[in-house]
Structure 1
Amino acid sequence: MRRRYTKKANWPSKNIKEQTSNESLNSQLDANIQKLKQLLDGPNDLVIREFLLNNNPTMKGSVVYMDGLIDKQLVQESILRNMKDFASNKKSYDTSKTILEVMYENFISIHSVEKGNTLEDALDGILVGKTVILIDGQTSALIINTKGGESRSIDEPTTEMVVRGPRVGFVESLGTNLALLRKSLQTSSLRFQTHQIGRRSKKSLVVAYVDGVVHPEIVKEVNRRIQSIDIDDAPESGFIEQWIEDSFLSPFPQMDNTERSDKASSELLQGKVVILLDGTPFVLIAPFTLGDFLKSPEDYNERWLIGTLLRILRYVAAFFALLLPSLYIALISLHPGLLPTDMALSIAATREEVPFPPVAEAFLMVLTMELLQEAGLRLPAPIGQTIGIVGGLVIGDAAVSAGIVSPIMVIVIGLTAISAFATPSFSLGISFRILRIAFMLAAGILGLFGIILVYIMVMIHMVNLKSFGVPYTAPFSPTMDRDWKDLILRAPMTILTRRPNFMNTKDVDSGSREKE
C-alpha cells in the first residue's frame, strides 16, 4: 500500500523575533504616528490625542498612551489640560530652546519626565504605562511617567498569617512595594538597583539591599545572575528564582519568598538581598539557609519564651513531617522488636485484617493525603475546605471500616499532614513531601538502615549546598556558636544585638545606631 505524504509547510527555520525598531524618530509627526501604529498593529486601546500649537494648523502635536495602563486623572489634569493652555498661550519664549524644552520647563507638572530619541524608546514607554508627547518637526519626544490603572489595594497577606504583627503585605505594583520598604526602613542606606527582565515583556526588577550592612560580593553575585537572564517574560518571581538559584537539581529551596513587608525589611537588616519583580506580590530573599526557613516573624513579636517554644515545636513538626511514615514502615515491617510488647501486640491486632503490607498501606494513604491537599488548593476556598475536612474524615473512616488500612496508619498520616502544615515555608514543605517518599522507599527495603542511609545522603547534599556563597546548613555546619542563640532557641531581644556571623556583614552590630 502506497503511503501518502503531505507537503511540509514552509515554516521559518529560525525563531521569529519581536518586531522592534531602533531607528530615530522622524521629524514628521504623521510618520512617527503611523510607525507606532504599525509596530503595535493598531490596537483599540492605543489613544492618540492631537492638538495644535498657537492655533496654527501647521504646528501639530500628539499625546500618545495606552488606555488602561495610565492614571487617567493624572493625564487629564497634568498633561492634556496643560497642552491646551500651551496651545492657546500667546507668550513668547526663548527662541534658542526647542518646543519640547519649553513644554518641559513651563507646562509639564509631572516630576518623572524622560527624553526619547528613537521609536523603541517611545514604544517601550507606551507599553509600560507612560505617556509620550510628539511634536511635528522634532526628532525627540517627551516620555512622562503616568503609570496607573486598576490595582489591588494593600491588604493582609493570605499565605503568611500571624496572630501578632503588621497587617501589611506586598501587592502587584512595584512602586507600591518599594514605598512599603521605604516606610519600613527609613534610612538613607537603603539602595535600589533596577534591571529589565524579559525580551518581550520588559518588566522592571529591583534588587534592594542596605548599604553598609550587606556584603558587597553578595550584591555583585545577585546582579550578575540577574543580568544573565534571557527569557521572553517573567510573569512571577518563581521564574527568577529558578534561573538564579545555585543548584536546580536540589530538592531544597535556596531562596525564600514572602508577601510580608516587615519580614522583607528585617531580612534586609540581616545583610540579605530582596528581589522585587513588577506584577507579583511575592518578593525573593537571598541568601537563605535551612535554619532561616524554620523561623517566623511571630517569633520576634512575642516574648522570647513563647518564641523559643514555637520554634522548638516547629523543629519537632519538621521531623514528624519528614520521617514519621518511614519510621512506621520500618518498625512494623522489619523491626517490631524495637516496640514495647503491648504496643506491638496492639498494632498487630489492628492490622490482622489489612490485606496490604505496611509499605503499600503507607503509600496508599500518603497518596490519598497528597490528592486531598492538591484538590483543596485548586478548588474555591469554601469548597476546598469542605473537601479537605469531609474528604479526609470520610475516606479515613471508610478505609478503616473496610479493613484496607489500620487505625494506627490513619493516625500516622493525620499527624504527618498536621506537622507539614506547621512549616512556615511552603517551598520547604514541598521539599519534605519529596524526601518523605525517598525515606519511605528506603524504609520498605532496608528498614531503619535504609532511613539512616538516605539521611546521610541528604546531609551530605545539604552540607555541600550553598545559597549565593553562604553555606546552606550554617550555623549548624560550619559551626558558629554565636549564631545559635537565634537558631533553635530564640534568645531575649537584649541579647540579639549582633547580626548573623555566617552572613559576613560589614556592620556586625545591630544594636548600635546606624551611621547615616
Structure 2
Amino acid sequence: MQRRFTRTTSPEPGGQARRLEEYAGIPVDGDVTQTITRIRKDLGASDDLAIRELRTDEAERPEAAVIYIEGLTDADAVNDYLSDLLWRSFKETAEAAGDEGARIASEARELLYGVGPVSEASDMAALYGYLLSGEAVVLLDGEARAFCVDICHWKGRDVTESTNQTSIRGPRESFTETLRTNTSLVRRKIKDPRLRLEKTIIGRSTQTHVVLLFIEGLAKPSVVEQARSRLGAIDIDGVLDSGYIEELIEDARYSLFPTIYNTELPDNVAAQLLEGKIAIMADGTPNVLIAPTQFMAFFQSAEDYYQRYHYASLLRLLRFMSLFISLLFPSFYIAITTFHRDMLPASLLISLAAQREGVPFPAFVEALVMEVTFEILREAGVRMPRAIGQAVSVVGTLVIGQAAVQAGIVSAAMVIVVSVTAISTFTLPAYSMSIPIRILRFAFMAIAASFGLFGICMGLFVLLLHLCALRSFGEAFMSPLAPFRDAGLEDTLVRLPRWLSFKRPATSAGDGSGRYRRRW
C-alpha cells in the first residue's frame, strides 16, 4: 500500500499567491508584453528578478525578452552573449520584408542552441520551474511558448576533505551542496554504462531536485521499484536536506536504529553501488542516502578497504568491542555494585566500597548524573565556536569530574566508567548509529538498577529480537547473520583478504552468486 506524506500550511494572506503546480495548464501568452506583466505580478516584482527587453529602433513593443534570477543565472552570459546575439539577429532581419520578416523568430530560436541546452515551456508552471532553477527564459513575440536556456551559475562550496568522516588512507574528497557536482564525483569513479541516474522533483515550495542512482543488473529491481514508489509518494512543502527524505521513506519509522545509511564520501557511495545498493542524492546537501543497509554496515569504514586486511579486521573487532562498552559498561557497573558484589575480587570490592563511602547517592543516580553532565558538555562543545568548543568540552569534563570527586558527589571509579564509555562511542564510524546507542545506554542503566544482570540479559534479548525484525527496503537489517547467509560473511565481523573474496552481498540482484572482485 502506497503511503502519502504531506504537510499542510496555512493559506496565504489574501489567497492570491499560488503554488507552482497551480500554474499548470495556464498557457504562455504569445504577446511578450503580456507575459512580462504576468511574471512581474506572480513573482511580486522581486528585487532579484531581471528582465531585459529587446527591440529594434522601429519596433513599438519588445520583440523578445530575456528573464532570469540574479545570483542563480550567469549574468555575464546573458549580457555579453545571449542578449547581444538576439539583438543582432533582430537588427539584421528588421529590414526584411514579406516572407523574410517571418523568419525572425525562427532564426533567433536557432541561435539559442549555440548558447547552451534549450528546453521549451508551454505553460507558466514549466516556465517558473525553469526560471526559479536558474535558467534564462527567452520570450519571442508571437511564440506561445518560452525557450529556457541552461546557463545556471551560482556560488557553491568547492570539493574539500570531509570533516565528519575522516580517514588516514584513501580519497580525501567529499560531496558538496551542488547536485551536479556530486553526481559527477560518482561518475568519475564508476565508468559503467549501466549506472542509472533518475531525477525527480520533491517539495511544492522548494522544488528540490533529487536523483536516484543505481547500477542496472546489480541492484535488485524490487528495491529500485520501492525507491521510486516511496520517492513519488512524498508530498511535502520543502526538502532542505536528505534527512527529510530519510525520515519519510525509511521502513521502521518508530525504531531508534536508522535503516538507511548516509555518507558524504564519494568512494563510499561508489562501493555501495557496486554491491547492488541504491543511492539517493538531494540538491543542497552533501549527505547521500544508501539503501538497503545492514546493521554491520554502520561499523565498516571506507578506510577498511584501503588498509591491509590484518589491520582492517583488528580495527573492526575493536569497534564491535567499543559498541558493547558504550552500551553496557555503566549498566554492568551498576548491576555488579548493587546486586552482585560477590562477583568482584575482595580487594577490588574493598577499594570500591572505600570510594563510595562518602557518596550520598546510589550507583544508578551517580551514573545518571555523570552521563547527563557529559552529554551536556558534548552538545555544548558542538554548538560553541570551533576555536573554543573542543577546549571547553575537554577541560570542562576534566574540571567537573575532578571537582565532583572531591566534593563527594560521585566516586572516582564512576568517572572512569563514564569516560571510557564516552570515548568508546566515538570509535563508531557512523554518527547516526552512535545516537541510538547513547539513548539505549540510559535504558539499560535503569534496567540494571532494577533487575541486575538478569535485567541486562533480558534487555539484550529484546533488543536482538527488535534488530532481527527490522527491514531496510524489504531486506533483513541483520543480514547476513539473521537470516544466516554465507554470502557476505567474508566482510562482516572481519575483512578477509581480497584474494578470498568472491561473492557479492545478498542484497545484490545476483543474490551473492556472482564474482565481483579480482580473481587471481
Q: What is the rounded CA distance, in whole Å, between the counterparts of 1:505 and 1:279 in structure 2? A: 34
Aligned to 1:309: 314
Amino acid at match of 2:32: L
- Which residue, out of 209, 214, 218, partners 1:213? 218
Q: Deviations over 1:201-227 (max 9, x none)?
A: 111000000111111110000110011
1:312-391, aligned counterparts within 5 Å? 312-391=317-396
Q: What is the rounded CA distance, in whole Å, between the counterparts of 2:485 and 2:57 in structure 1? A: 74
Sequence identity, in percent? 36
Q: Is the 8 A contact 2:93 2:101 kept in 1?
A: no
Mean alpha-carbon deviation: is it higher for 291-300 or for 346-355? 346-355
Q: Deviations over 1:421-443 (max 9, x none)?
A: 11111110001011111111100
Aligned to 1:171: 176
> Aligned with 1:206: secondary structure?
strand
Q: What is the rounded CA distance, in whole Å, between the counterparts of 1:40 and 1:13 in structure 2? A: 15
Aligned to 2:484: 479
Shift of the 366–494 alpha-carbon distance from structure 1 to 2, 3 Å rule, reads same
1:70 has 2:73 as partner: yes
1:18 has 2:19 as partner: yes
Q: Is the 8 A contact 2:218 2:509 kept in 1?
A: no
Amino acid at match of 2:155: E
Q: What is the rounded CA distance, in whole Å, between the counterparts of 1:326 and 1:398 in structure 2? A: 24
Aligned to 2:4: none
Q: Deviations over 1:123-144 (max 9, x none)?
A: 1111111110011221111011
Aligned to 1:6: none
Q: Deviations over 1:82-116 (max 9, x none)?
A: 22332333497996987554333234323421011
Aligned to 1:509: 515
> Aligned with 1:482: secondary structure?
coil
> Aligned with 1:274: secondary structure?
strand
Q: What is the rounded CA distance, in whole Å, between the counterparts of 1:14 and 1:331 in structure 2? A: 66
1:274-293, aligned counterparts within 5 Å? 274-293=279-298
Q: Deviations over 1:244-293 (max 9, x none)?
A: 00011100000111111110111100111110000111110111110001
Q: Is the 8 A contact 1:321 1:432 kept in 2?
A: yes
Q: Is the 8 A contact 2:214 2:279 kept in 1?
A: yes
1:453-492, aligned counterparts within 5 Å? 453-492=458-497
Aligned residues: 504
Where structure 1 has 5 or more consecutive residues not aligned to the other structure, the ranges are 1-9
- Which residue, out of 35, 40, 44, partners 2:38? 35
Amino acid at match of 2:517: G
1:294 has 2:299 as partner: yes
Q: What is the rounded CA distance, in whole Å, between the counterparts of 2:354 and 2:108 in structure 1? A: 89
What TM-score, normalized to structure 2? 0.92
Aligned to 1:7: none
- Which residue, out of 79, 86, 96, partners 1:83? 86
Shift of the 306–151 alpha-carbon distance from structure 1 to 2, 3 Å rule, reads same
Q: CA deviation at 1:184?
A: 1.1
Q: What is the rounded CA distance, in whole Å, between the counterparts of 1:231 and 1:374 in structure 2? A: 30
Q: Deviations over 1:360-380 (max 9, x none)?
A: 000000001110111111111
Amino acid at match of 1:108: Y
Q: Is the 8 A contact 1:54 1:87 kept in 2?
A: no
Q: Deviations over 1:480-502 (max 9, x none)?
A: 12321100111111222321124
Q: CA deviation at 1:355?
A: 0.7
Q: CA deviation at 1:345?
A: 1.4
Where structure 2 has 5 or more consecutive residues not aligned to the other structure, the ranges are 1-10
Q: What is the rounded CA distance, in whole Å, between the counterparts of 2:146 and 2:381 in structure 1? A: 52
Q: What is the rounded CA distance, in whole Å, between the counterparts of 1:59 and 1:43 in structure 2? A: 21
Shift of the 463–335 alpha-carbon distance from structure 1 to 2, 3 Å rule, reads same
Mean alpha-carbon deviation: is it higher for 261-270 or for 340-349? 340-349
Q: Is the 8 A contact 1:241 1:284 kept in 2?
A: yes
> Aligned with 1:486: secondary structure?
coil
Q: Is the 8 A contact 1:126 1:132 kept in 2?
A: yes
1:94-493, aligned counterparts within 5 Å? 99-493=104-498
Mean alpha-carbon deviation: is it higher for 14-23 or for 89-98? 89-98
Aligned to 1:5: none
Q: Is the 8 A contact 1:82 1:108 kept in 2?
A: no
Q: What is the rounded CA distance, in whole Å, between the counterparts of 1:245 and 1:15 in structure 2? A: 36
Q: Is the 8 A contact 1:79 1:108 kept in 2?
A: no
Q: What is the rounded CA distance, in whole Å, between the counterparts of 1:62 and 1:12 in structure 2? A: 31
Aligned to 1:3: none
> Aligned with 2:55: secondary structure?
strand
Q: CA deviation at 1:55?
A: 5.9
What TM-score, normalized to structure 1? 0.93
